[in-house]
Structure 1
Amino acid sequence: MNFYTADPHFFHENILKFCNRPFQTVDEMNRKILHNYQSTVGPGDDLWVLGDLAVCHVNMADRLSEMLASIPGRKHLIVGNHDKPWVRRLQDWSSVHDLLEINDQGSRTVLCHYPMVTWPGARHGSIQLFGHVHQNFPGTRNCVNIGVDQWDFRPVTLREARKRAAGLEVNPLWGQVEPGAEI
């Protein structure tokens, strides 16, 4: 099964106040997010991290690698603006991409750190998953924020993302970028 997440910002002290995260310390935040990943993702699963794994110095590389190794399954990185080259080179990744289109249970799924207005297959039922904007924007009818700040600090399935998308507004630009296409 595929699980999706974004923006854990491991080791980032300032994210606690920037995003009003409900933790007293960054260690508490790290433990909670890591626990949620470990208790959700199974050995045969794939965890897609849509950017901003950690905001820390390279001297934390070993600790970050240990954390990733403790999460079951295969881990994939979709690069975000805070993912330094050394984070991209961690040996724990099964793959690293800037942007990727996958098929998840028959559904065309576009993965990018950033929210998009349109993407391949957008007119034909594909969905785009993103992070980057934390708690500020949940997404639209076919473009869903799967960041930890939107999902109680846990990874989600495509089914959960689609269920949430069904209750979101259609992007007001949709008619301009995909004229005549229904969502």
Structure 2
Amino acid sequence: MAVWFTSDTHFGDPRILRIDKRPYPDLATHDAALIAAWNAVVRPEDNVWHLGDFALGPSAERIAEILRGLSGTKHLIIGNNDGAGTLQAHGWASIAHYAEISVDARRLVLCHYAFRTWNGIGRGAINLHGHSHNKLKPIPRQYDVGVDAQGPAPISLADILVSRRRRTTPWVSVEP
């Protein structure tokens, strides 16, 4: 069983193509590409921590359909754009504003928002967050796991930890 992280998918949100300049011609292509990227790496037995802003705009039925179409056991850390349709959709194993977990013997503090300081920072804990859409200057042991920082597919902790060495854009492929 693998553990994956992502944030700020913004399924169904028409603003995302314009504001974040995601390389898709339309929202349907955007959503299909992110679903395909997710399912290309996540297996049914894996866990995915989505750190907020899952969807904004589509109906509750469409949100539930998207959620059903994504592989893995899904945990939601609530973001500022997660409304009732996202929060009430069946398919979340857990929903919270904040979580502390361990992966690969590393202590992780998960929230939609980046922290200036967090529980365990002095003992090596890592803060994973979304919300900033790759616009914040990173600080030690803090990583933006959003699609604008890491690409359209959920990412493993090992890849997150080396992501600052990457020199290429996270948008490797835009094909659904």
TM-score, normalised on structure 1? 0.85
- Residues 9 and 55, structure 1, Cα contact 8 Å, conserved in 2: yes
Give deviations 1:92-148, integer Å, cap 9, x for gaps: 100001000001121100100000011111111110100101131263220000100
**Map of 1:83 onto structure 2:** 82
Highest Rg: 1 or 2? 1
Secondary structure of the residue that 1:94 maps to in structure 2? strand
**Aligned pairs for 1:154-169 within 5 A:** 154-164=153-163
Alpha-carbon RMSD: 1.5
Q: CA deviation at 1:90?
A: 1.1
**Aligned pairs for 1:35-114 within 5 A:** 35-57=36-58, 60-114=59-113
> Sequence identity, in percent?
32
- Residues 140 and 165, structure 1, Cα contact 8 Å, conserved in 2: no
Higher relative contact order (CA 8 A, sep 6+): 2
**Map of 2:124 onto structure 1:** 125
- Residues 35 and 70, structure 2, Cα contact 8 Å, conserved in 1: yes
- Residues 75 and 92, structure 1, Cα contact 8 Å, conserved in 2: yes
- Residues 37 and 155, structure 1, Cα contact 8 Å, conserved in 2: yes
Secondary structure of the residue that 1:87 maps to in structure 2? helix
CA–CA distance in 2 between the matches of 1:85 and 1:101? Answer: 24
CA–CA distance in 1 between the matches of 2:80 and 2:138? Answer: 19
* Unmatched runs of 5 consecutive residues or more in structure 2: 167-176
Distance 1:166 1:28, change over 3 A: closer
How many residues are matched?
165
CA–CA distance in 2 between the matches of 1:115 and 1:17? Answer: 23
CA–CA distance in 2 between the matches of 1:13 and 1:114? Answer: 22
TM-score, normalised on structure 2? 0.89
- Residues 138 and 145, structure 1, Cα contact 8 Å, conserved in 2: no
- Residues 150 and 163, structure 2, Cα contact 8 Å, conserved in 1: no
